[in-house]
Amino acid sequence: MKKKLQLIIVIMVLVLFGQAAQASGSYVVQRGDTLWLIAQRHNTTMGALIQANSLSNPDVIEVGQALVLPGSGLRTHVVRPGETMWLISRQYGVTVNELSRQNNVVNVNMLFTGTTLIIPGKGTTPAAPPAAVPAVSSRAFSASELDLFARIVHAESAGEPYIGQVAVAATILNRMDSSRYPNTLSGVVYQIEGGYYQYSPVLDGRINLPANETARMAVRDAISGQDPSLGATGFYNPRKTSNVWVRQQPVTTVIANHVFFK
């Protein structure tokens, strides 16, 4: 009896959730749905659904996936390599929470290339991607310094979510502003303390690998004043270090695989 009651409650929640999504111009895929059935239910065509949602394979839809209903005026965005929920939210002028709620995203750090996201709010023209912003205050970097900056960020955080890469870049700037560290970019990157380089990519040569565009964007955002590290001056991956000292430092935040500290 108890199991039946739980099943009824789950079904009611799904129905109400589906109705709410429909009222907002989108539909949440239920178990047993096909694109053809959804089109029939909402007086539209498969072709219109495919176009509205930029579906590359109409035979593959997943339970819980949010679909735009044609004519609703909702915007969609197909995730490109290197993009994150945070970066996409900035592009369209919405918050990460709004974007994740609209698309039933549980883990905002897990976003796959090719996924179609529904952008909250009405409109047909996406906002322009954020442009590069000049350095804040009097801080300025030469082209060679920006290249070095991007290379260390790429070497230390490639594979991390975009917000994590911005955070890594911010920690380097925070070190430059701290009396405990050198006040130049190269001084911070190549600093030797206690006989050890502060950044392992300098020791193993990964610092010499070219940076990608994502790392360069992360550097620009950090220079413009963004600091997801919350003032941290360092970071580490707890699965890759046994350093006792870093584990004793005050933690500011945790982003994906990195613990940030000051």
Asked if residues 102 and 120 have their Cβ atoms less than 8 Å apart, the reply is yes
Would the pLDDT of 251 be above 80? Answer: yes
| CA atoms of 171 and 52, how far apart (whole Å) | 41
Residue 128 CA, distance from chain mean position: 17
Complete DSSP assignment for 227-258: -TTSS-SEEE-TTT---HHHHTSPEEEEETTE
| pLDDT band per the 50, 70, 90 thresholds, residue 238 | very high
Do residues 115 and 225 both lie within one domain? Answer: no
pLDDT for the residue 63? 79
Query: Of residues 236 and 106, which shows the higher confidence score?
Result: 236
Tell me whether residue 135 is in a domain: no
CATH code, domain carrying 211: 1.10.10.2520
| CA atoms of 136 and 233, how far apart (whole Å) | 19
Tell me whether residue 229 is in a domain: yes
Mean pLDDT taken over the chain: 80
Per-residue pLDDT, averaged over 225-253, amounts to 91
Output b/e per residue, 136-171; b: 16+ Cβ within 10 A: eeeeeeeeeebebbbbbbbbbbeebbbbbbbbbbbb
Please, where are the H alpha helices in the chain?
Answer: 2-23, 35-41, 46-53, 85-92, 96-102, 143-157, 162-177, 185-189, 200-204, 213-223, 244-247
| CA atoms of 113 and 98, how far apart (whole Å) | 20
pLDDT for the residue 91? 81
Position of tokens 């239910």? 41
Which of 63-67, 130-134, 153-157, 217-221 ranks highest by mean pLDDT? 153-157
The sign of the dihedral angle between the CA atoms of 58, 114, 127, 17 is: positive
CATH code, domain carrying 46: 3.10.350.10
Would the pLDDT of 145 be above 60? Answer: yes
- Which residue, 91, 122, 153, sits at the end of a domain? 122
> What range does the domain containing 104 cover?
21-122
Do residues 118 and 164 both lie within one domain? Answer: no
- Which residue, 57, 87, 122, sits at the end of a domain? 122
Position of tokens 């500290």? 261
Do residues 115 and 182 both lie within one domain? Answer: no
Asked if residues 162 and 212 have their Cβ atoms less than 8 Å apart, the reply is no
| CA atoms of 28 and 89, how far apart (whole Å) | 21
The sign of the dihedral angle between the CA atoms of 127, 130, 134, 135 is: positive
- pTM value is 0.53
| CA atoms of 59 and 57, how far apart (whole Å) | 5
Tell me whether residue 41 is in a domain: yes
